[in-house]
């Protein structure tokens, strides 16, 4: 029975493993913080700290701060932004400074938990690379600025890791917090259910009371719906607000096809945005396929990671946003944890490792500079 419950790697965590993950996360966080400060100083050269902070406050970051300071009554589109991140900003006093503190604390935590998950599944070397690759992701700077990206990733990866270790009540609680951060937190129910059934040998009679932990995941959305009903007059106010942003759902892959159709020539401004969003998603799909076929494919007991990646990418490719069909999809791709772990396995070859880091960091720095100019191509 124990063999069904626990993965072959790292059956029981040894003393100091979490310390190792926290230490690795601290090094990665420190290096990329220096990089962000350097890019920001170059982009806003001659300007003061306030200008740098405002550069990090573009687009959704400003929306979260306004919600934290003034609540959801400031406009019809604002309930689309789920409450946990602005609530934490509010508790720290509001303002972009508080938003950055929350985001960076969560980024540190996300790096540590991803390291722990990767070490459990594939060993220490893969864990080290996975943390670096997450931060070096071309859109990885969103983990460190005033967005909820790092908070969502911390909670989602934490839920997956807790479930993998058989801590189902903790997994459900983290999942509930993730669904209070973003609606797509609900998607965690599927990979968690797959892993739970695997641990019970795919036999329903072996279900235990802790299976109800998975049922905790929707509580974040339910709590927000209750708030919306009381304060905004409709339990679906967060869904209605999506209309303000032109968000709608299509058949699977429909949003990706629309994005490709929006390409208007190599010199048109919309083309770069489409290449970033649709191109990143396509690369992520290819990497996910390599998780199940080829020399780096995952073990059968690790399919919960593939399921989480597959449903994440499928929803991205089926969600249109007004203006640019797959807007923001490039940054959401890094939530497909399996592709990061696959890259980290491929990175055992030093040539691939250097290629991933050099290319990733270069694009990361360039896109951060673009973001800080307020250009809509990166949002």
In this model, does residue 269 exceed pLDDT 70?
A: no
Residue 374 pLDDT class (50, 70, 90 cuts): confident
**111: which 2 tokens?**
């790096």
In this model, does residue 16 exceed pLDDT 80?
A: no
**290: which 2 tokens?**
């390599």
- Out of 3-7, 87-91, 126-130, 317-321, pick the least confident: 3-7
Number of neighbouring beta carbons within 10 Å of residue 44: 20
**pLDDT for residue 173:** 98
> Are 155 and 188 within 8 A, CB to CB?
no
CA–CA dist 318, 331 (Å, integer): 16
CA–CA dist 194, 338 (Å, integer): 15
Mean pLDDT of the chain: 90
Residue 283 pLDDT class (50, 70, 90 cuts): very high
**pLDDT for residue 4:** 41
| DSSP H/E element including 314 | helix 303-316
CA–CA dist 274, 304 (Å, integer): 30
**163: which 2 tokens?**
């479930």
**pLDDT for residue 316:** 93
- SS3 of residue 320 by DSSP: strand
> Is this structure's pTM higher than 0.85?
yes
> Are 138 and 333 within 8 A, CB to CB?
no
In this model, does residue 378 exceed pLDDT 70?
A: no
In this model, does residue 14 exceed pLDDT 60?
A: no
In this model, does residue 270 exceed pLDDT 60?
A: yes
Residue 176 pLDDT class (50, 70, 90 cuts): very high
> Are 21 and 135 within 8 A, CB to CB?
no
CA–CA dist 148, 331 (Å, integer): 11
In this model, does residue 44 exceed pLDDT 90?
A: no
Query: Domain segments of the chain: what residues?
Result: 2-372
Provide the residue count of the chain: 379
CA dihedral 344, 346, 348, 349 (to 10 degrees): -140
> pLDDT digit string (tens) for 338-355?
999 999 999 999 999 999
Q: What pairs with residue 245 in β-bridges?
A: none
In this model, does residue 266 exceed pLDDT 80?
A: no
Which residues have CB under 8 Å from 88's CB, separation 6+?
102, 151
In this model, does residue 377 exceed pLDDT 80?
A: no
Residue 290 pLDDT class (50, 70, 90 cuts): very high
């Amino acid at each position: 029975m124990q063999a069904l419950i626990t993965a072959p790697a790292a059956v029981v965590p040894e003393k100091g493993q979490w310390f190792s993950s926290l230490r690795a996360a601290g090094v990665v966080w420190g290096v990329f913080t220096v990089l962000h400060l350097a890019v920001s100083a170059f982009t806003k050269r001659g300007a003061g700290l306030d200008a740098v902070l405002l550069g990090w406050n573009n687009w959704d970051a400003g929306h979260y701060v306004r919600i934290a300071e003034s609540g959801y009554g400031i406009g019809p589109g604002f309930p689309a932004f789920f409450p946990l991140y602005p609530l934490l900003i509010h508790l720290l006093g509001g303002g972009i400074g508080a938003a950055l503190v929350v985001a960076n604390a969560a980024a540190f935590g996300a790096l540590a938990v991803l390291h722990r998950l990767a070490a459990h599944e594939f060993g220490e070397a893969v864990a080290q690379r996975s943390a670096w690759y997450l931060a070096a992701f071309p859109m990885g700077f969103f983990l460190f600025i005033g967005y909820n990206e790092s908070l969502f990733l911390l909670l989602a990866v934490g839920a997956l890791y807790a479930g993998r270790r058989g801590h189902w009540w903790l997994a459900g609680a983290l999942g509930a917090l993730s669904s209070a951060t973003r609606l797509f937190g609900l998607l965690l129910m599927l990979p968690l259910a797959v892993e739970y059934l695997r641990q019970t040998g795919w036999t329903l009679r072996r279900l235990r009371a802790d299976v109800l932990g998975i049922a905790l995941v929707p509580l974040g959305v339910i709590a927000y719906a209750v708030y919306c009903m009381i304060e905004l007059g409709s339990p679906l106010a967060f869904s209605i607000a999506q209309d303000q942003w032109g968000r709608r759902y299509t058949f699977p892959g429909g949003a990706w096809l629309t994005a490709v159709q929006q390409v208007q020539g190599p010199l048109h401004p919309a083309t770069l945005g489409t290449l970033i969003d649709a191109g990143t998603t396509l690369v992520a799909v290819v990497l996910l396929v390599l998780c199940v076929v080829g020399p780096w494919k995952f073990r059968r007991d690790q399919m919960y990671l593939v399921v989480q990646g597959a449903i994440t990418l499928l929803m991205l490719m089926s969600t249109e946003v007004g203006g640019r069909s797959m807007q923001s999809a490039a940054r959401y791709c890094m939530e497909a944890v399996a592709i990061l772990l696959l890259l980290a396995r491929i990175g055992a070859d030093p040539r691939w490792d250097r290629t991933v880091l050099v290319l990733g960091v270069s694009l990361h720095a360039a896109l951060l500079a673009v973001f800080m100019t307020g250009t809509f191509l990166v949002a």
